[in-house]
Amino acid sequence: MPIYEYHCKGCGQDFEYLVLGGSEPDQCPVCKANTVCRLMSTCGFVSKGEGGETVSTSAGASSCTGCNATSCAGCGH
Ligand SMILES: [Zn+2]
């Protein structure tokens, strides 16, 4: 069973989620916000902007910020 790590941009919570049948969490289990982002290569700690530049994030808790410009399905902004 694939267990993925997710990160909530809203409250900064990291959590693991057992993905069954391709369904992914669209809500943070803590704050119920839909600002969760899977922590994988497409949504990693270093995100690339549309122009290929590295999108620097602040304070670590917002590591998913750059995903809006890439391909993180969980971060549809
Ligand atoms: Zn949250």
pLDDT, tens digit, 9 for 90 and up, residues 11-46: 999 999 988 887 888 899 999 999 999 886 444 445
Closest listed residue to residue 38, CA positions, set 48, 52, 28, 49: 28
Task: Tell me, in angstroms, the distance from the centre of ligand 1 to residue 51's CA.
Answer: 29
Which has more pLDDT, 46 or 52? Answer: 52
Q: Is 52 left (phi over 0), alpha (psi -120 to 50) or beta?
A: left
pLDDT at res. 8: 94
> What distance in angstroms lies between residue 61's CA and the mean position of ligand 1's atoms?
11
How close is the Cα of 42 to the center of ligand 1, in Å? 20
Ranges of each domain in the chain? 3-75
Q: Of 38, 48, 46, 45, whose CA–CA distance to 72 is shortest?
A: 38
pLDDT band at 75 (very low <50, low <70, confident <90, very high): low
